[in-house]
Amino acid sequence: MTTAKLNIVPFVSVDRMMKLVNVIGVERFLTELAGYIEEDFRRWDLFDKTPRIASHSHDGVIELMPTSDGRLYGFKYVNGHPKNMRQGLQTVTAFGVLADVGSGYPMLLTEMTILTALRTAATSAVAAKYLAPRGARTMAIIGNGAQSEFQAIAFKALTGVDRLRLYDIDRSASRKCAKNLAGMGFDITICETGQEAVEGAGIITTVTADKQCATILTDNMVGSGVHINAVGGDCPGKTELHRDILLRSDIFVEFPPQTRIEGEIQQLDPDHPVTELWQVIAAKAQGRRDAKQITLFDSVGFAIEDFSALRYVRDQLQATGLYEELDLLADPDEPRDLFGMLLRAAVQPAA
Amino acid sequence: MTTAKLNIVPFVSVDRMMKLVNVIGVERFLTELAGYIEEDFRRWDLFDKTPRIASHSHDGVIELMPTSDGRLYGFKYVNGHPKNMRQGLQTVTAFGVLADVGSGYPMLLTEMTILTALRTAATSAVAAKYLAPRGARTMAIIGNGAQSEFQAIAFKALTGVDRLRLYDIDRSASRKCAKNLAGMGFDITICETGQEAVEGAGIITTVTADKQCATILTDNMVGSGVHINAVGGDCPGKTELHRDILLRSDIFVEFPPQTRIEGEIQQLDPDHPVTELWQVIAAKAQGRRDAKQITLFDSVGFAIEDFSALRYVRDQLQATGLYEELDLLADPDEPRDLFGMLLRAAVQPAA
């Protein structure tokens, strides 16, 4: 390790993240990121796994999501405050850090609001690669908020979805989604109801934002053979699907101890059988078994996906130069002389 | 809330932190910070308390230390890697975040390597205010590394210590410490042994760095009536005091569930009686009882102290202007239009 710039941590701001996604291209970014996620899911056993550490309050939650593969350590700070939208704030904002386990020094600080939407979409599309009915090209998206376009593009890139049926209780959200996706190769229909949206869809994505037990999908809306990508239900008391759908589905999850608290399956008995997605990806468990089966990916978002995203972003820094240098770490000339560094700073000319 | 600059989080770099300490003055900074710590310890019951979340590896540990008082949320990232020093790196580096519980939005990102040394020293001095023998002006400091000067100055500012007896297995560390403290009103003696250092000292501070069970103080070195400020033993397998000293002392701790794992008292039975420091500060428990009693503050560092430090730094930002503006939070014009923001960034001229 060189002794130069030990104080510096590369920082990817929101502006740089947008440039990074645009320089790489959002489809390629999602495809490559999905590759990192699959790679990390295949070596699942290596990771330190703890459920996220949540601090709940009346209006929302602030969470820390750490994990490590023994060489790298990553964590994400993320909040979830549904009321924020009414005040012109994001429901979810996030940032994260990747660090070197050997020295404990941070190697990357990055915005993760955009990156979380990307990794969530990439993970959903990875799950669908293994679970969705073969050749499904039509996807219903119920909930057309901040994550909807990312989901659509990830499914296009990874599974070949090119027909979208959009529904949102606020029609302007659907119009926003359709407008943003214009010219990207989708055939898009804006629907009047959730029921209309799911007609003919082989994949149903639910990605609504309300913090409550809602019933975005009722039992009669879900026919045999579909794949449900349930993204919006991701904390205690927030679900989107009617319990009866869950009972008819084969359920795939990221990390059962977390999903049983936060996911759709919080509605089920604590020992209801589920399959871990990583086992499907690692060929240790079966994904879709037949054409009539309803598969359900009960997505809540797990720390390993953020870890993959942090790794991916870190690997793009050198080639793109899209980062700033943050003076985050005290680096005295002599490690034991932290106070001396402070003293010497006092006599330096002001910067 | 104004809609301007929602993307911005104030950032205090290492450079700005040093300027902040120097502009305020290190003694005043420590005194005011101690006031924030006492204030937060008095309202201890309000806080969310969890032991730190540690990721241990062969060479060290990376920890996240979150807490909240219901209005503000704070966490610190901190590593501890004793081998780092041999590679010219800091044993401990840290940064932290203060956030608004109501919105989940971060309000401050700051370096905390320097700030941790300051808050550790301020907490030790607060404990000594309540526990040290009345009128104790002489302090032995065993271990003269990065934290030693901060401890000395905090004790001077809060308890009136003005005579220091320094000992370190590496004499150059003692010389460094003495040189840094020159002209600050201390009478300083560099000692040949730990035994010599504790002679005549009413307060004994141990603040060594080795990650092992060491015996910095043996039983015969500790006479009646002293206050021991045990700072260096702060993780499983890392202690500084002989067990017999603990058995002769009245022990005061920050948060028992954490200290029993990380502190000197890991050497004792899990039900060995200890007093929580906050109860002494809040006048719910007695501090020093008599002149013969050995009091021991088994410091490991708790999240609430970091929270106090984050609050204090946040309160200095406006008056000093010593921060940068970090573009950390995605802030689309329309909260649901994260993807649209990304699209629009692609057609902007490069910055």
Domains of chain A, CATH where assigned: 8-114+304-347 (3.30.1780.10), 124-301 (3.40.50.720)
Q: What share of residues in chain A are helix, strand, coil (percent, to 5)?
A: 40, 25, 35
Average pLDDT over residues A159-180: 97
Evaluate whether A304 touches A259 at the Cβ level (below 8 Å): no
Average pLDDT over residues A35-45: 97
- Looking at residue B151, the DSSP 8-state letter turns out to be H
Report d(CA A168, CA A316) in Å as an integer: 35
* pLDDT, mean over chain A: 93
Q: What pLDDT, in 10s, does the model give residues A308-320?
A: 999 999 999 999 9
CB atoms within 10 A of CB B191: 20
Which residues of chain A have a CB within 8 Å of the CB of B53?
Answer: 50, 53, 64, 66
CB atoms within 10 A of CB A275: 18
3-class secondary structure, B190: strand
| Rounded alpha-carbon distances, angstroms, from residue B203 to A211, B156, B163, B210, B232 | 54, 12, 10, 22, 15
Evaluate whether A32 touches A309 at the Cβ level (below 8 Å): no
Average pLDDT over residues A302-307: 96
Give me the interface pTM, i.e. the ipTM: 0.90
Which residue among B48, B162, B168, B234 is the active-site one?
Answer: B234
Report d(CA B56, CA B87) in Å as an integer: 20
Checking if the pLDDT of A202 tops 80, the result is yes
B184 at A interface, C-beta within 8 A: no
Q: Judged by CB atoms within 8 Å, which residues 57-96 of A form the interface with B?
A: 57, 59-62, 64, 66, 68, 70, 73, 75, 77, 79-81, 84-85, 87-91, 93, 95
CB atoms within 10 A of CB A351: 7
Annotated catalytic residue A234: yes
Q: Is B112 exposed, middle or buried (0-12, 13-18, 19+ CB in 10 A)?
A: buried
Per-residue pLDDT of chain B (351 residues), as tens digits, is 444 588 899 999 999 999 999 999 999 999 999 999 999 999 999 999 876 788 999 999 999 999 999 999 999 999 989 889 888 888 889 999 999 999 999 999 999 999 999 999 999 999 999 999 999 999 999 999 989 999 999 999 999 999 999 999 999 999 999 999 999 999 999 999 999 999 999 999 999 876 566 788 888 888 999 999 999 876 777 788 999 999 999 999 999 998 999 899 999 999 999 999 999 999 999 999 999 999 999 999 999 999 999 999 999 999 999 999 999 999 888 888 999 999 999 876 544
Evaluate whether A220 touches A121 at the Cβ level (below 8 Å): no
Beta bridge partners of B64: B53, B77
Which of B41, B47, B52, B40 is closest to B262 using CA atoms? B52
CB atoms within 10 A of CB A217: 24
Evaluate whether B86 touches B60 at the Cβ level (below 8 Å): no
Q: Can you give the C-alpha Rg of chain A in angstroms?
A: 21
- Looking at residue B48, the DSSP 8-state letter turns out to be B
Checking if the pLDDT of A175 tops 70, the result is yes
Confidence of residue A194 (pLDDT cuts 50, 70, 90): very high
Beta bridge partners of B295: B227, B250
Which residue among A40, A168, A234, A306 is the active-site one?
Answer: A234
Q: What confidence score (pLDDT) does residue B351 get?
A: 46
**Which residue matches tokens 């913090």?**
A211
Average pLDDT over residues A245-255: 96
Locate B41 and state its tokens. Answer: 């310890």
Evaluate whether B119 touches B110 at the Cβ level (below 8 Å): no
Question: A101-128 as b/e, with b when 16 or more CB fall inside 10 Å?
Answer: bbbbbbbbbbbbbbbbbbbbbbbbbbbb
Q: How many CA atoms lie within 13 A of B13 on its CB side?
A: 15
Minimum mean pLDDT range among A26-35, A335-344, B3-12, B174-183: B3-12
- Tell me the percentage of chain A whose pLDDT exceeds 70: 96
Report d(CA A13, CA B329) in Å as an integer: 8
Report the 3 state secondary structure along B62-124: EEEEEEECCCEEEEEEEEECHHHHHHCCCCCCEEEEEEECCCCCEEEEEECHHHHHHHHHHHH
- Our CA angle for B236, B239, B242, nearest 5°, is 135
Nearest to B150 among A147, A328, A339 (CB): A339
Confidence of residue A210 (pLDDT cuts 50, 70, 90): low
Evaluate whether A302 touches A47 at the Cβ level (below 8 Å): no
Contact A79 B105 (CB under 8 A): yes
Report d(CA B155, CA B173) in Å as an integer: 20
Question: B126-148 as b/e, with b when 16 or more CB fall inside 10 Å?
Answer: bbbbbbbbeebebbbbbbbbbbb
Distance from CA of A291 to the nearest CA of B (A): 34
Q: Can you give the C-alpha Rg of chain B in angstroms?
A: 21
